[in-house]
Amino acid sequence: MHPTEPTQYVIVGAGSAGCALAYRLTEAGRTVTLIEYGGSDMGVYIQMPGALSYPMNMPRYDWGFSSQPEPHLGGRRLVTPRGKVLGGSSSINGMVFVRGNPKDFQHWADSGATGWDYAGVLPYFKRMETWHGDPTGAQTSLWRGTDGPLHVTRGKRKNPLFNTFIQAGQQAGWPRNDDYNGERQEGFGPMEATIWKGRRWSAANAYLRPARKSGRLTLVRGLARRILFRGKQAYGVEVETKSGNLNVEAGREVILSASSINTPKLLMLSGIGPADHLRQHGIAPLVDRPGVGANLQDHLEVYMQYKSLKPVTLYTYYNLLGKSRVGLEWLLQKTGLGASNQFESCGFIRSSDAVDYPDIQYHFLPLAVRYDGKAAAQGHGFQAHVGPMRSKSRGTVRLASDDPAAAPEIRFNYMSHEDDWAEFRACVRHTRRIFDAPAFRDYRGDEIQPGDAVQSDEQIDAFIREHAESAYHPCGTARMGAADDPQAVVDPELRVIGVEGLRVADSSIFPRITNGNLNAPSIMTGEKAADHVLGRQMLRENPA
């Protein structure tokens, strides 16, 4: 096939960052070709927030990745869902909206990501959002945005258990916090979500649809096989489409927004990565960058589950008739339980007083069930998802072969640092304090999981080894840092070090994982990347 006529920018991946970047570039009058392997996001399981457990388990929408056997988790392989659909993982995630802690971004800046401190990212968090405040309180805040494409809302917390969890956190000794995305993160309060008018407000809904309406965006459906170079100048992407291979050329730059799994894979297939590893797969190294595919991080969590003494949980609807009623109401009116992700209250706490900012996150759910929806406890129950936020364990993404269609080898190396175990034990014990609080006296029955018999360090460790699950927050595999840092992959303007005309804009660039769910900082990365690409003066806002 003949190469396409060059547009100014080629973006690989219509996910959280890619959609935001495409929108801002087209808004500025630039032409963009966006390459995406996945299909339409308009299915009901994606658009209905209450159906969130379905799309991440559907081969139609998910790449189907899983880790190599994890040696510190009993050799288990953990699933690693990544969105294979317009909107990327923002179309299959839990819709939870967490910016991260200001000190996360200070750490980024201290690690060589100059300009990515909190003063450098806050304006982009504000630019991207329309914050709808608390239905019962404040509608404006100096810390929040009012006219961005991404709607951020809160559930109505009609179920009494949501506010009971917040109250219990206070009784257990932590503060109430009515906006963890505002002035401070620590405490218990309402959880925020990318849900608008009862629908999942993904990056596809918020950014991609307006970008396509501009007439300056071309969407190419296909598998990106490799980046095309003349010498060390990137000039396009080779794409495998249904009708054959196609060279999609960029007049100015190629930008990878293909996820923390597929971005390092594509860099390595293109000759950018650890030279010895590339040679093992018959790939001639263009640039020896050992940091490509290294520094892989994630959040692990366990589900602490309890029986409910009162029939107030979602178990009432966890049957065919109940699910049908919920689905019908959502289809007809976009209201009811289907219009919520059911994560409506949360907490951020410190594992000990020696820690200077929160390192444990809670998602509360008024149902005792696995995240994938495959197994619910028999009868009424509720649970908290809890896990440490800043694990010191690091893993890798590596090529399994030189075949672009082959899944890469993912090794998270979970729980490989001894501090992870101490932090996780703290998670279990703090959670028991919360559910022992007076607020839960009328609701809390027996502990389903891990169970009252699990008390010693060794027993808790065995529970974690057998039951810890990924929170699906992989990142860090093309780390941002100073241009002379041998482990960095991109510089603070997101340019791939050692070549020209190529950038990365997705969660791959995170030097260290942020405190909370990764969708918000991923979209922020796309927003900030746009100003770097456009050569604009970077926004800064000192919140002090």
Judge whether residue 24 has pLDDT over 60. Answer: yes
Of the chain, the percentage scoring pLDDT greater than 70 comes to 97
Instruction: Give the confidence band of 2 by pLDDT, cuts at 50, 70, 90.
Output: very low
Q: How far apart are CA 150 and CA 130, in angstroms?
A: 6
Tell me, letter by letter, the H, E, C secondary structure of 313-348.
CHHHHCCHHHHHHHHHHHHHHCCCHHHCCCCCEEEE
Cβ burial of 223 (10 Å; 0-12, 13-18, 19+) is middle
The rounded Cα 158 to chain-centroid distance in angstroms is 27
pLDDT of residue 135: 61
Crossing angle (nearest 10°) for helices 418-435 and 160-171 = 110
Helix (H, G, I), strand (E, B) or coil at 161: helix
Global pTM? 0.97
Residue 268 has, within 13 A of its CA and on its CB side, a CA count of 36
The H or E element containing residue 468 is none
Token output for 409: 């080898």
Active-site entry in 72, 380, 473, 532: 473
Q: How far apart are CA 11 and CA 55, in angstroms?
A: 24
CB 311 within 8 A of CB 380: yes
Judge whether residue 134 has pLDDT over 90. Answer: no
Token output for 460: 């808790």
Lowest mean pLDDT: which of 136-145, 253-262, 425-434, 449-458?
A: 136-145
The DSSP code sequence of 373-425 is: SS-B-SSSEEEEEEEES-----BEEE-S-S-TTSPPEEE--TT-SHHHHHHHH
Judge whether residue 1 has pLDDT over 60. Answer: no
Side chain identity at residue 309, one-letter code? L
| Alpha helix (H) residue ranges in 146-188 | 160-171
Q: How are the residues of the chain apportioned to helix, strand and coil, as percentages rounded to the nearest 5?
A: 30, 25, 45
In the chain, what are the domains? 1-154+192-294+474-536 (3.50.50.60), 156-190+300-388+416-467 (3.30.410.40)
pLDDT of residue 482: 97
Residues 267-310: tens digit of each pLDDT: 999 999 999 999 999 999 999 999 999 999 999 999 999 999 99
pLDDT of residue 5: 65
On average, the pLDDT of the chain sits at 96
**277 belongs to the catalytic site:** no
Residues 219-263: tens digit of each pLDDT: 999 999 999 999 999 999 999 999 999 999 999 999 999 999 999
Q: How far apart are CA 366 and CA 322, in angstroms?
A: 15
Q: How far apart are CA 19 and CA 27, in angstroms?
A: 12
Q: How far apart are CA 404 and CA 483, in angstroms?
A: 28
Instruction: Give the confidence band of 140 by pLDDT, cuts at 50, 70, 90.
Output: confident
* CA-to-CA separations, 71 to 76, 339, 378, 391, 464, in angstroms, rounded: 8, 39, 32, 16, 13
φ, ψ for residue 114 (rounded to 5)? -60, 135
pLDDT of residue 525: 98
pLDDT of residue 6: 76
Handedness of CA 33, 38, 43, 46 (dihedral sign): negative
Helix (H, G, I), strand (E, B) or coil at 239: strand
What mean pLDDT comes out for the span 124-143? 84
Q: How far apart are CA 417 and CA 141, in angstroms?
A: 39
The rounded Cα 427 to chain-centroid distance in angstroms is 21
Q: Which of 413, 434, 429, 420 is nearest to 388 (CA)?
A: 420
Q: What's the DSSP call for residue 249?
A: E
Residues 311-364: tens digit of each pLDDT: 999 999 989 999 999 999 999 999 999 999 999 999 999 999 999 999 999 999
Q: How far apart are CA 471 and CA 469, in angstroms?
A: 6
Asked, as a colleague might, if the bond just before 311 is cis with ω within 30 of 0, I would say: no
Residues 49-95: tens digit of each pLDDT: 999 999 999 999 999 999 999 999 999 999 999 999 999 999 999 99
